[in-house]
Chains A and B, each alone.
Chain A
Amino acid sequence: MLKPFCVCVYVIWLREIRKFARERTRLFAMLGQPLLYLLIMGQGLRAIFSIDIPGFDYLSFMYPGIIGMTILFTAMFASVSIIWDREFGVLKEVLVAPVPRSAIAVGKALGGSTTAVIQGTILLLLAPFVGISLTLVAVLQLIPLMFLLAFAITSLGVLVAARTETMEGFHMIMNFIIMPLFMLSGAFFPIGSAPEWMQPLMKANPVAYGVDAFRNIFFAGSEVLDFIVYYPLYYDVLVLVAFSTVTVLLGMQAFRKVD
């Protein structure tokens, strides 16, 4: 039972990676959006958010949020591509194979996470331009954290896609899941400074913990750390692990029933 499961996960993952490697235009298209946010929103808001804390710069505050955004978008798009797979029949080939269907959910989530981490890692190259100097150790810490956030998002995406039958459903996901997750992620403003009613919503958002975890690494040892981060790193990691575990299990369960 375990071997066919792993084989299926690997096959689905391999499919995603091969296609991703082939479509370099997608890679660059996905980088356009974060650049726009950093250049226009970042520079524009920088002037207003001039808080009188020495060493604080809005652009470098927003930068981890933009990495979180890129991972959110890439991971979500990758996992809801299951809807396409179903529309174009690719999924049927796997459904009729002698492998557990739940493995489709895991393979898809891992494939989407891998591509999202590649995108996120490329964005790390921009760090010097927003005034952050990254050490190799920081990069090595960031990669698993990016993967953790990506896996939480792809698991959620797979769970939603398993229950979505049509392309129309995809736009619903766009408007009612991705955008709120993005805006409530703390990418633009810290959780602590948000209005009372909004804070619980932000605290229920997995992306916020990812962004908070990134900031923990980016601003480690900085005097502004306490102002910028909301939770300690271990707490962010714990929440993301718990969230991923629950959603991936639900996603696997949902796929057992797909026909």
Chain B
Amino acid sequence: MVKGEGLALIEVKNLHKTYKSIAAVSDLSFSVDSGEFFGFLGPNGAGKTTTIKILATLVRPTSGTVTLNGYDVVRQATDVRRSIGMVFQDPSLDERLTAVENMELHGMLYGMQRGLMKAEITKLLELVDLGDRRNDMVRSFSGGMKRRLEIARGLLHQPPVLFLDEPTVGLDPQTRKHIWDYISEVRKSRGATIFLTTHYMEEAEGCHRVGIIDHGRLVAIDTPSALKKSAVKDVLTLRTSDPAVAVAIIRDELGIEPDLDGETITLTAPDDGESYLARLVALIPGITAIGVNRPTLEDVFLKLTGRDIRDEPVSALDRMRTRHRSVSRRGKH
């Protein structure tokens, strides 16, 4: 997985972070390439936010080295900060200012030249479909609109890396999809490297590479399809008029031991499940139904950590956040 040294935009080596003898992150090592869309997947409290905070210079590592855009996060914090755009888990907009004012204050903080800043603000607000609301108070924005504005703001100073910490947490499914469309739009048009944390499996599916983190440790890192291949096999399900015959045929012809449950036969494919479909149809007479179950990242996570990601109790803060956002939302997107 290690790429050429010059290509890595983020380089994390043996990173540890301990809070009062509790390890939030232990021995984390990975790298993210320029232009990559990288997802950090894990349950709440796995260490995702701690990692992102260390990368963004908000938290100092206990040990280990982290370089971003060639700068060390401890010794060259200001250079690192200039190289990143950040969308925090909780909203960080000034609600009593307008969309443009929020953008302008950001541009000024990053020392942008005025003409460039104005042009970029107009362009970015158009990109996230907020062009016609530019002079409205952020207070009147829906949860989804605020997120979009934060994404636009994070990109304003043209950073090489954009961090998105749980960008869709607390938003309803429709708004989540919207935000997601905007993120891929942003990625295509700006070509920025995106580092994302999420505990939604569907969101991680779209990444180039995914790192799975659990209890502060990196348990796997690869492309979503490779992760699925390595961790879990495809499962085929079929129904026939004579299950007993079918079981015998599968055992003899394919050398696989199938499971029979009532009328339904299930078998685990040793490799690509789809290639077995045609063979099974040809071998077994009277098939009434057949299907292949491809594993999801959810299955990968379950296999690697022994737990379902959805089993994680939702924290009180998360619940509050969801409530707060649904109250402040007024059916707008």
Q: Check A8/B109 contact, CB under 8 A, given A90-B94, A95-B58, A97-B81.
A: yes
Whether the pair B109, A18 counts as a contact (CB closer than 8 A) is: no
Q: Is the pair A96, B58 in contact by a Cβ cutoff of 8 Å?
A: yes
Whether A11 sits at the interface, judged by CB under 8 Å, is yes
Residues of B within 8 A of A10 (CB): 108
Q: Contact residue range for chain B?
A: 20 to 34
Q: Tell whether B318 is near chain A: CB-to-CB under 8 Å.
A: no
Chain B minimum-CB-distance residue to A1: B78
A88-B95 CB under 8 A given contacts A7-B111, A14-B105, A259-B59: yes
Instruction: Report B-chain residues with C-beta under 8 Å of the C-beta of A3.
Output: 111
Among B97, B105, B111, the residue within 8 A (CB) of A4 is B111
Q: Mark B78-95, 1 if CB is under 8 A from A, else 0.
A: 110110101010111111
Would you list which residues of chain A between 99 and 127 have a CB under 8 Å from chain B?
A: 99
| Chain A residues within 8 Å of B91, by CB | 88-89
Asked whether any CB of chain B lies closer than 8 Å to the CB of A19, the reply is: yes
**Count of chain A residues near B, Cβ 8 A:** 25
Q: A18-B101, A92-B88 are in contact. Are A99 and B93 (CB under 8 A)?
A: no
Interface SS of chain A: helix
Q: Are B97 and A7 in contact (CB under 8 A)?
A: no
- Which residue among A8, A19, A93, A99 has the maximum number of chain B CB atoms within 10 Å of its CB? A93
Binding site for B on A (CB under 8 A): 3-4, 7-8, 10-11, 14-15, 18-19, 22-23, 88-99, 259
Which of B's residues lie within 8 Å of A, judged by CB? 56-59, 78-79, 81-82, 84, 86, 88, 90-97, 101, 105-106, 108-111, 153
- 4 more A-B residue pairs beyond the given contacts A15-B94, A90-B94, with a C-beta to C-beta distance below 8 A: A18-B97, A19-B97, A93-B106, A97-B110
Q: What 10 pairs across the A-B complex have the smallest Cβ distances?
A: A89-B92, A98-B81, A97-B109, A98-B82, A93-B92, A92-B92, A98-B78, A89-B90, A96-B86, A19-B96
